[in-house]
Amino acid sequence: MKLNIKGITIFVEDDYLSMSKKSAEIVSHRIANKPNSVLGLATGSTPEGMYKELIQLYLNKKVNFDNITSFNLDEYYPINKDNKNSYAYYMNSHLFNHVNIDKDKTFIPNGKTENVDKMCKEYDQMIYDVGGIDLQILGIGNNGHIGFNEPDVDFELTTHLVKLDDKTIEANARFFANIDDVPKFAVSMGIQNIMQSKKIILMASGEGKAKIIHDMIFGKVTPNLPASILQLHNNVTILLDKKAAKLIIN
Ligand code: F6R
């Protein structure tokens, strides 16, 4: 099912698998149209299926990552890139190790840097120097965060150090042995970086995301729900499974 609400294209797919296939299809079309695309990448549970599909498309010679540059949205801080919970490790194991992307052109905020401010400025500059992000992939937190832009966000920020919301720490504890092991900070692209992307796709699956999806689309644009800012972007596609779409379809 395809909807258009407030200028936002919304695809409601039957389940997680078809949502993942649909998003992989959008990404591969984008790459076919512009083989040197700059992708903005997300981690977390939601895009795992999409990465699997992209690997499959690559193995079937339907997509070629040869000329792709990528920037990840975020990374925990502090964290070593060899730590299994780092987003650097996640990207290698879920995508980069399985496709022909040039790892020298994949960028993830450095979770180990001594000088965070300098690293953030350099990250913004690198995105700017390659001409900005063509296609940004997003998940959404239960609290409405995108990247690690937590409620009460400053919409003007670019890449910056964030103190993680307690809800985010709780939600992400499932990946760690103990909740106390979840880093308290992260480095994240800011809302400004995300809003400057030429096209954005946001994915959500499962009933737990239904309310936040409803509110980000129908509520007012507010820093209390960071994803609501996407109502002001002119090229956003939202991909949902039926459960996440529960409150926006009858
Ligand atoms: C990950 C990220 C986060 C996640 C969000 C949803 O790079 O930026 O905003 O997209 O926390 O996470 P999942 O998909 O695990 O529900």
Ligand 1 contacts CB of residue 193 (under 6 A): no
d(Cα 17, Cα 25) in Å, to the nearest integer? 12
d(Cα 175, Cα 178) in Å, to the nearest integer? 9
What's the 107 CA to ligand 1 centre distance in angstroms? Answer: 18
Residue located via tokens 């979770």: 111
Look up 114 and say whether it is catalytic. Answer: no
Say whether pLDDT at 183 is over 70.
Answer: yes
Ligand 1 contacts CB of residue 74 (under 6 A): yes
CB burial of residue 224 (10 Å; 0-12, 13-18, 19+)? middle
Active-site residue identified among 83, 92, 142, 143 = 143
What's the 27 CA to ligand 1 centre distance in angstroms? Answer: 18
For the chain, the average pLDDT equals 97
Q: What are phi and psi of 32, to 5 degrees?
A: -65, -40
222 forms beta bridges with: 225
pLDDT for position 165: 86
Q: What are phi and psi of 3, to 5 degrees?
A: -120, 160
Say whether pLDDT at 196 is over 70.
Answer: yes
217: left (phi over 0), alpha (psi -120 to 50) or beta: alpha
d(Cα 82, Cα 112) in Å, to the nearest integer? 11
pLDDT digits (tens, 9 = 90+) for 72-90: 999 999 999 999 999 999 9
pLDDT for position 167: 87
pLDDT for position 250: 67
Cα–Cα–Cα angle for 246, 194, 219, nearest 5°?
35
- On whether the CB atoms of residues 50 and 26 are closer than 8 A, the answer is no
Which of 140, 160, 182, 239 has most ligand 1 atoms within 8 Å of its beta carbon, as the pocket-test mutant? 140
**CA-CA distances (angstroms) from residue 94 to 50, 53, 54, 99, 151?**
10, 11, 10, 10, 28
What's the 217 CA to ligand 1 centre distance in angstroms? Answer: 18
d(Cα 66, Cα 36) in Å, to the nearest integer? 8
When mean pLDDT is compared across 173-187, 205-219, 223-237, the lowest value belongs to 173-187
Which ligand 1 atom lies nearest to the CA of residue 146? Answer: 9
Stated pTM of the model: 0.96
Look up 145 and say whether it is catalytic. Answer: yes
pLDDT digits (tens, 9 = 90+) for 128-171: 999 999 999 999 999 999 999 999 999 999 999 999 989 889 98
> pLDDT confidence of 236, banded at 50, 70, 90?
very high
What's the 58 CA to ligand 1 centre distance in angstroms? Answer: 24
For the chain, give the percent of residues with pLDDT over 70. 100
161: how many CB neighbours lie within 10 A of its CB?
A: 15
Q: What is the mean pLDDT of residues 198-203?
A: 98
Report how far apart the first and last C-alpha atoms of the chain are (Å, whole number): 12
Look up 98 and say whether it is catalytic. Answer: no
pLDDT digits (tens, 9 = 90+) for 42-75: 999 999 999 999 999 999 999 999 999 999 999 9
